Amino acid sequence: LQHYFIQSNLRISYWCQCTAVTMFKLTKCSANICTRNLQTTAGLFQRVPMSKFDPETDVRDNFAKLQQNVDIVKSRLRRPLTLSEKIVYGHLDEPETADIARGESYLRLRPDRVAMQDATAQMAMLQFVASGIPQVAVPSTIHCDHLIEAQLGGDKDLSRAKDINREVYNFLSTAGAKYGAGFWKPGSGIIHQIILENYAYPGIMLIGTDSHTVNGGGLGGVFVGVGGADAVDVMAGIPWELKCPKVIGVHLTGEISAWTSPKDVILRVADILTVKGGTGAIVEYFGPGVHSLSCTGMGTICNMGAEIGATTSIFPYNERMARYLHATDRGEI
């Protein structure tokens, strides 16, 4: 294996997809870090909502279905699965019969939730209204951030956006209220950061109409940026189609030093893979070097994975993610 050094003592080893199946055999966890196996400790609680805004949901149901599907796929493929494969295949619509071939077949998936930014949400909600379906089939949210133009300063730009886009915001808020989609008004924050702080959790599959949706991989889920039509399909209860992704493993060793930031990691990966080297693949980061990265730092690396054409990127569940979930009042998950 060829090693690449980043500024100080953080070292990256790159595996191509042909060895991605066995790469996790190399991974060891320190004593205070949870293992990578799928855990269902949420059963200790009466109810664990997907978020504080979805009290009627129970994340245990999602995990139970995911585990059931993973067991079916493993019995069919007769090989170990990587983390991203467990989550992707765990959301198959028909795991018993699905054609699973990396980079070749198309998968029919059932994502857990949908997020839309205000520019693309307009047509998406119009199409959903035209479907005649009374309520969204999965938890969905609308985020008003893309129509705010940076010109004069925060307060003035926000006031201007509210005035110019008043009709759009009124439509999105009322349509969301009628059809069961959450609405984050202008000024509430950037969509991918709201997702990370409120809706992301390990094992989830979320699609969003924004390229930065992949940021959520920093919390151990599969987050994919899509077009508005894909969002409508999922909100209408129709399986979402995705070409079966290839897998690229990035092994991190060493630690982040005072002169190194998480951004240096993805910049080096981009230097190795180029702007199209991740096309059609999910990039999985693993190894002891992961534990020196903050949860938001891992999110930054996943966020910039879009620059290499990756379908998405993901990190394994670890103590940093646990701290972040507790800090954002989601410790029960």
Q: Tokens 């990396």 belong to which residue?
A: 102
At residue 318, the 3 state secondary structure works out as coil
pLDDT tens per residue, range 72-108 = 999 999 999 999 999 999 999 999 999 999 999 999 9
| pLDDT tens figures, 63-80 | 999 999 999 999 999 999
Burial readout 110-141 (b: 16 or more C-beta within 10 A, e: otherwise): bbbbbbbbbbbbbbbbebbeeeeeeebebbbb
Determine the pLDDT at residue 328: 96
Question: Taking residues 310-321, what's their average pLDDT?
Answer: 97
Q: Is the pTM of this model over 0.75?
A: yes
Amino acid at the residue 297: G
Q: Is the pLDDT of residue 151 over 90?
A: no
Q: Helix 166-179 vs helix 118-131: angle between axes, to the nearest 10 degrees?
A: 50
- pLDDT top residue among 21 and 271: 271
What would the two tokens of residue 55 be?
Answer: 């009290």
H helix intervals, the chain: 59-77, 83-89, 118-131, 154-164, 166-179, 191-198, 228-235, 262-273, 295-303, 319-327
